[in-house]
């Protein structure tokens, strides 16, 4: 098993890693809308925050030579389901014909008062 530790995605803010490679799978920890360089939340709207989350996921995927087409499952956490449509609009830009399985749930709160967090499982080539 290999641990992912890259500088182009936010560092872990607790006792966990950015992700793990196990067999032919990549398990990425949930990404919140942190700027990888500053560690600060990016954006005040759900659209802005979702865009940063997806950029962070893209960086993790890219570090392994993967794209969003390799993602087989996502788990999405929103602090307000009233933001679901706006979240979906941004999220949907990153997936094309090969849509992953997905769970989307509302949660009471997320780290650093983020409005959204997304974790992924991807298949390696």
Q: What is the H or E stretch that residue 104 is in?
A: strand 101-106
Sign of the dihedral through C-alpha 73, 78, 84, 90: negative
Q: Looking at the predicted structure, is the pLDDT value of residue 97 above 90?
A: no
Per-residue model confidence as pLDDT tens digits over 16-33: 999 999 999 999 999 999
Residue 96 DSSP label: -
Q: Read off the pLDDT band of 125 (50, 70, 90).
A: confident
CA distance 46 to 5: 27
pTM: 0.96
Residue 118 belongs to domain with CATH number = 3.30.1330.40
Q: What is the mean pLDDT of residues 31-56?
A: 97
How many domains are contained in the chain? 1
SS3 assignment, position 45: coil
Q: How do the residues of the chain divide into helix, strand and coil, expressed in percent and rounded to 5?
A: 30, 30, 40
Per-residue confidence (pLDDT) for residue 28, from 0 to 100: 98
What is the residue range of 102's domain? 2-123
Q: Read off the pLDDT band of 15 (50, 70, 90).
A: very high
List CB contacts of 24: < 8 A, sequence separation 6 or more: 123, 124
């Amino acid at each position: 098993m290999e641990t992912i530790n890259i500088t182009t995605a936010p560092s872990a803010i607790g006792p966990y890693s950015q992700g793990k490679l196990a067999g032919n799978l990549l398990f990425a920890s949930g990404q919140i809308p942190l700027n990888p360089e500053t560690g600060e939340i990016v954006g005040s709207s759900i659209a802005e925050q979702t865009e940063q989350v997806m950029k962070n996921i893209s960086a993790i995927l890219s570090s392994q030579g993967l794209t969003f087409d390799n993602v087989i499952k996502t788990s999405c956490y929103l602090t307000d389901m009233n933001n679901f449509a706006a979240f979906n609009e941004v999220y949907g830009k990153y997936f094309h014909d090969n849509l992953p399985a997905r769970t989307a749930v509302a949660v009471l709160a997320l780290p650093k008062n983020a409005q959204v967090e997304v974790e992924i499982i991807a298949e390696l080539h």
